[in-house]
Amino acid sequence: MIDLRVKKLFFDRPKVQRAVGAANRRALSKVGAFIRQRAKTSIRKRKGAAPPGRPPHSHTGLLRRFIFFGYDPRKESVVIGPARLNRGTRAPHTLEFGGNVVTKRALLVRVGDTGRDRRGRFKRGKRRLVKKGTKLIYKPRPFMGPALEKERPKLPKLWANSVRS
């Protein structure tokens, strides 16, 4: 008589599932670390505002310091991005995607281009007083999206040969 144990041939065994889950956690954690590091290094310390379309400049270092990643075991995914700070501003979101902000108090803002003129001399935009309640329009200065796109080609390699016995 021949006795076949068919269940041993399928991949629903707990040992295999645990190995795949552990490999997935390791790979996703590496993905989070790589994208986080790329985003942090794209934000450079400079005076003035970054040109639209480029990563923002850092003046105080808060944005760079508060970019984190975390693995979510329920969804088996990783979340990467800036943490919300004490204030109720949505500054990281506004920097990434652009948007409108209504001022809560009077501000002095620079209007116009800063940089070099045709002769190579440094020029700075004029300062203008903006009253409370004025809507300011910010153009996007993405830093998380480009970090993901630069790291995307490297991601499949993190899962290659990741399931070990």
Spell out the per-residue pLDDT of the chain, length 165, in tens: 455 555 556 666 788 788 888 888 999 999 999 999 999 999 999 888 888 999 999 988 889 999 999 999 899 899 999 988 767 778 899 999 999 989 889 988 777 766 777 888 877 778 888 899 999 888 999 999 999 999 999 999 988 888 776
| Two tokens, residue 112 | 């116009």
In whole angstroms, give the CA distance from residue 96 to residue 45. 17
Contact 111, 130 (CB under 8 A): no
* Domains of the chain by residue range: 12-86+143-159, 99-138
